[in-house]
Amino acid sequence: EPKTKAAFGSVGRRIPYRILHVINQDGESLGNMHRAEALKLMDQHDLKLVLLRENAEPPVYRLMTGQQIHEEQLRRAEKKKASPKTGMVQKELSFSSAIAKNDLETKTKQIVQWIEKKYHVKVTIRQAK
């Protein structure tokens, strides 16, 4: 059972698969090859093998320079920062049942804005005395 790779990074010599699909540093496919051939290629060109897609059959590896690996890690970090947070945002609004008309309209506009931002909105109405 091959180990799963959580983060993008240099694989080096620990490759749990026998047959790999290898892509060179320019993005061109070199086809399927045995692990030993891929390691030999890696040593000849002074590059590192990086796992791109583990779920593919056979798994896809790319030959990369240290600089390319660093740039890809920075790109992925930026993309992760830019993506919305996985946690659900919930907004809560409460008001009295005796609320004035324009106050109700203002709060309704606020609720609409939150819903457009895909927030979960919880509205609580208190009974007026």
Per-residue pLDDT tens digits for 9-51: 556 677 888 888 998 888 888 889 988 888 888 888 888 888 8
Once rounded to an integer, what is the mean pLDDT over residues 89-102? 88
Query: Is residue 77 located within the same domain as residue 94?
Result: no
Distance, in Å, from the CA atom of 42 to the CA atom of 63, rounded to the nearest integer, reads: 7
Query: Is residue 99 located within the same domain as residue 78?
Result: no
Query: Is residue 102 located within the same domain as residue 71?
Result: no
Query: Is residue 72 located within the same domain as residue 98?
Result: no
Answer for the pair 11, 51: CB distance below 8 angstroms, yes or no: yes
- What's the pTM? 0.54
Query: Is residue 95 located within the same domain as residue 78?
Result: no
Query: Is residue 42 located within the same domain as residue 74?
Result: yes
Alpha-helical (H) ranges within 1-129 are 35-44, 66-82, 101-116
Q: How many CA atoms lie within 13 A of 98 on its CB side?
A: 3
Count: domains in the chain: 2
**Can you give the residue range of the structural domain that contains 103?**
90-126
111-120 burial, b for 16+ CB within 10 Å, e for fewer? eeebeeeeee
Distance, in Å, from the CA atom of 72 to the CA atom of 25, rounded to the nearest integer, reads: 12
Position 13 in a domain: no
Position 6 in a domain: no
